Amino acid sequence: MENLAVTYLGLKLKNPLVASSGPLTSEVGSVLTLEDAGVGAVVLRSIFEEQIKSDGSGAYRDLEGSASNFAFEYLRADLPMQLMAEKYLDRIVDIKARVGIPVIASCNCIEKAQWVAFAKKIEQAGADALELNLYHMPVDVNESAALVEQRRLDAIRAVRETVKIPVAVKLSHHYTSLLSFARQLDLVPVNGIVLFNRFLQTDVNIEAESTYYKTEFTSSNVLHSQLRWTAIVRDFIRADIALSGGIHTGEDLVKALLVGANVGYAYSCLAKSADPKETVAAILNGLTAWMDRKGYGDIAAFRGKLRETNLKDGKGFERMQYVAAAMNV
Ligand SMILES: Cc1cc2nc3c(=O)[nH]c(=O)nc-3n(C[C@H](O)[C@H](O)[C@H](O)COP(=O)(O)O)c2cc1C
C-alpha cells in the first residue's frame, strides 16, 4: 500500500493534492465537499485589498489627509478589518471549526500596511498558513522591474516578521529573472512558493467594441511552463514548491512531483467537475497506480528526480529555443 503523505509548509497532508484558491474554496459547504472528496489541504479564495477598501471607503475618506505618519497608516489599514474583512475572518473561524484538513488562507494586497494588518488578523482567526497572492499590475511608468520586486519583497518581509504561521507566496509568470526573485524570497525566508497564479482574462467584444472579463479554465496543456520552472528553481531554494496550473490527471500530478514540487494545486478540474469526489479519486488513483507500477512506496522515493541539477548544460528544461538538436533534425 503506497503512502501518499507529504509535508507542505510544515503541515502534514495525507496526500499531495491541494485544492487551489477560487470561488470553490470560499464557503464552508464547498470546502467540506472538497475535504470529503479527499484533497490533502485547501487554499481559501483570496480576499483582495480592493474588496476591503470598497467596503470601508466612507471610513477611509474620513481619515484621508488627517495624518501621514506610519503608525497612523497602520491604523488606517486596520480600519476596514472591522467591516468587510470581518466576514472573511469569520469564515476562517467557521471553516477551521468544521474541517480537519489544513486550511491555508489567501490574501492579495498592494500596500505593505494592508498586508501586515491582514496577515495578523488571519493568523488570529486560526488559519494554518497564509498564502500571499502576489500580484498587482505594475502600471507606474516610473517604477522599474527592480523597484517592483523590491516593493514586493519589503511587504513580504514585513508579513514574515509579523506572523508565526507559515507563509507561502503565489507568483505570476511575469518575472524577467524568476530564479533570482525566488532566491530572494527564500532568503526572507518564506516557507513556500506557488508556481504560478493564472489571471482573469480580459477579452474584446468586437461588435460592442468593448472589453469584458471571462473565466477560463485550464487543461493539462498549460502544465509545461510550471514543470519547467519548478524543475529549475527546485535546487536553488529551501522553501517548498507548490505547482499550480494544468493538473487535471494522476499523470499530471506525477509529473509535478517528479520535477520537485512538494504538492500539486488543482482548481480548474475541480471547478469543472460534476463530482469532485470522482475527480479527486481519479487523480489519486492515477498517482497510486503509477507508484505501484514503478515500485515506489512513498512520494519521497521519486520526488525531484527530474529537477534540473545542472543549469549550465543547455539540456532538459533549460532548453527553450527550437534548435536542431531539440527537434532531432
Ligand atoms: C474563477 C477563478 C477564480 C480564481 N480565484 C483565485 C483567487 O482568489 N486567488 C488565487 O490565488 N487564485 C485564484 N485562481 C487561480 C487558481 O487558484 C489556480 O492557481 C489557477 O486556476 C491555475 O490552476 P488550474 O490549472 O488547476 O486551474 C482562480 C482561478 C479561477 C479559474
pLDDT of amino acid 81: 44
First to last CA, the chain: 44
Q: Assign residue 308 the CATH number of its domain.
A: 3.20.20.70
pLDDT of amino acid 74: 45
Ligand 1 atom 12 nearest Cα: 21
Q: pLDDT per residue over 297-324, tens digit each?
A: 999 999 999 998 877 777 788 877 776 6
- Could you tell me which residues come within 8 angstroms of residue 253 by beta carbon, excluding any fewer than 6 positions away? 16, 17, 247, 264, 283, 286, 287
Q: Residue 235: inside a domain, yes or no?
A: yes
21 lines ligand 1 (CB under 6 A): yes
Q: Residue 302: inside a domain, yes or no?
A: yes
Q: Residue 251: inside a domain, yes or no?
A: yes
Q: Residue 36: inside a domain, yes or no?
A: yes
pLDDT of amino acid 148: 92
Closest atom of ligand 1 to 266 CA is 26
- The residue that leads in pLDDT, 188 or 70, is 188
106 lines ligand 1 (CB under 6 A): yes
Mutation pick for ligand 1 pocket among 18, 20, 26, 199 (CB with most ligand atoms within 8 Å): 20
Q: Residue 194: inside a domain, yes or no?
A: yes
Closest CA to 102 of 289, 272, 240: 240
The gap from C-alpha 117 to its chain's centroid, in whole angstroms, comes to 20
Tell how far the Cα of 61 is from the centroid of ligand 1, in angstroms: 32
Number of domains in the chain: 1
The CA distance from 165 to 11, in Å, is 10
- Could you tell me which residues come within 8 angstroms of residue 295 by beta carbon, excluding any fewer than 6 positions away? none
Contact 168, 195 (CB under 8 A): no
Residue 26's CB is within 10 A of a number of other CB atoms, namely: 17
Domain that holds residue 240: 6-327
Q: Residue 1: inside a domain, yes or no?
A: no
The angle that helices 145-162 and 112-125 make with each other, rounded to 10 degrees, is: 30
Q: Residue 185: inside a domain, yes or no?
A: yes
- The residue that leads in pLDDT, 190 or 54, is 190
218 lines ligand 1 (CB under 6 A): yes
Q: Residue 290: inside a domain, yes or no?
A: yes
Q: pLDDT per residue over 288-298, tens digit each?
A: 999 999 999 99
Contact 235, 307 (CB under 8 A): yes
pLDDT of amino acid 65: 47
The CA distance from 95 to 282, in Å, is 26
pLDDT at 114 > cutoff 80: yes
pLDDT at 201 > cutoff 70: yes
Range scoring the smallest mean pLDDT among 6-20, 71-85, 114-128, 269-283 = 71-85
Closest CA to 170 of 45, 271, 70: 45
Percent over 70 (pLDDT), the chain: 87
